[in-house]
């Protein structure tokens, strides 16, 4: 007879998984930001030699983290001292190939990617904590259905932007839906807005709002707390 798995046990497994993703991202953030410098006017600069090393670090991160589809640094325009944005972002082309991704960073351009207005940037940059946004379609960005994990970066004491990684929803589902299905009843992971990130069945679809939770359902917060995630399940937490 298969032992009964409790919601608390599942929440612990999920929290460990997300903690692991953020720990790896935090390590990448420190490695990449160590390559950065400020000019005499305290403006952020990325030298060509530094970019080459950042590419190598990012490729190593993606190679070691098959769940991630892209990663890198996203800078605030204040730190750059420019009206244009800047992203140092690398994506997975194939299992062993990675490429730098180009975004529209000119406010006067036709496909301007105004990332400083997006949740994944503002939450980490303004609060100084780890954050997760999604699921969403990254319009004008990588154009995929993803979640984005971010953490703030500082350069010589100045908050310069965020480090981030994207996870495609297909990859997230492949990793976490089997965990949810260990519970006997339908369950889901909710984001900080109370919307479904993913569910164990068609009962809960990505993007569905669950605020307040349906009758008979309970939520348990997941770690890290700053990500705002929770486990929704049928029953009580006791």
DSSP characters over 8-67: HHHHHHHHHHHHHHHHHHHHHHHHHHTT-EE-TTS-EE--HHHHHHHHHHHHHHHHH-TT
Give residues with Cβ within 8 angstroms of 44, minimum separation 6. Answer: 36, 37, 38, 75, 79, 80, 81, 155, 158, 160
From the first residue on, what is the mean pLDDT of each consecutive set of 10 residues in the chain (238 residues)?
Answer: 80 98 98 93 90 94 95 96 94 82 89 94 96 91 91 95 97 97 94 96 92 93 97 83
181 and 163 in a single domain? The answer is no
- Kindly report the pTM of this predicted structure: 0.93
Distance of CA 168 to the CA centre of its chain: 10
| pLDDT at position 4 | 79
| 227 lies in the same domain as 160 | no
Is residue 163 classed as helix, strand or coil in its secondary structure?
Answer: strand
Whether residue 41 is found in the same domain as residue 78? yes
Q: Which of 169, 194, 214 marks a domain boundary?
A: 169
In a domain, 116, yes or no: yes
Do the Cβ atoms of 231 and 12 come closer than 8 Å? no
Is 40 in the same domain as 108? yes
Tell whether 4 is covered by a domain: no
Residue 186 and residue 175 in one domain: yes
Indicate whether 66 and 163 sit together in one domain.
yes
Q: Which two tokens stand for residue 148?
A: 């984005």
Q: Is residue 194 domain-shared with residue 160, that is, in the same domain?
A: no
Radius of gyration of the chain (CA): 19
Do 55 and 160 lie in one domain? The reply is yes
pLDDT at 141: 77
Q: Answer yes or no: do 148 and 177 share one domain.
A: no
Looking at the domain assignment, is residue 6 inside a domain? no
Q: How many domains does the chain have?
A: 2
140/205 same-domain check: no
- Predicted pLDDT at 238: 62
Task: Report how far Cα 49 is from the mean position of its chain's Cα atoms.
Answer: 27
The answer to whether the CB of 89 falls within 8 A of the CB of 101 is yes
Q: Show the domain range for 89.
A: 14-169
55 and 146 share one domain: yes
């Amino acid at each position: 007879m298969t032992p009964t798995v409790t919601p608390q046990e599942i929440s612990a497994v999920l929290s460990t998984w997300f903690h692991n993703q953020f720990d790896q991202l935090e390590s990448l953030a420190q490695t990449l930001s160590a390559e950065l410098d400020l000019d005499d006017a305290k403006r952020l600069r990325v030298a060509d030699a530094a970019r080459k090393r950042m590419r190598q670090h990012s490729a190593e991160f993606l190679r070691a983290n098959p769940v991630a589809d892209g990663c890198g640094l996203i800078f605030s325009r204040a730190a750059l001292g420019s009206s244009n944005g800047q992203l140092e972002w690398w994506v997975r082309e194939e299992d062993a190939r990675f490429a730098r991704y180009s975004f529209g960073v000119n406010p006067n351009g036709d496909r301007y990617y105004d990332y400083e207005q997006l949740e994944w940037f503002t939450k980490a940059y303004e609060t100084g904590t780890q954050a997760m946004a999604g699921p969403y379609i990254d319009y004008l960005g990588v154009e995929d259905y993803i979640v984005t994990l971010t953490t703030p970066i500082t350069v010589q004491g100045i908050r310069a932007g965020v480090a981030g990684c994207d996870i495609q929803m297909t990859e997230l589902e492949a990793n976490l839906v089997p965990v949810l299905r260990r519970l006997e009843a339908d369950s889901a992971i909710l984001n900080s807005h109370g919307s479904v990130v993913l569910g164990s069945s068609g009962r809960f679809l990505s993007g569905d709002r669950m605020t307040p939770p349906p009758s008979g359902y309970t939520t348990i917060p997941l770690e890290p707390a700053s990500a705002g995630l929770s486990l929704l399940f049928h029953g009580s937490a006791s």
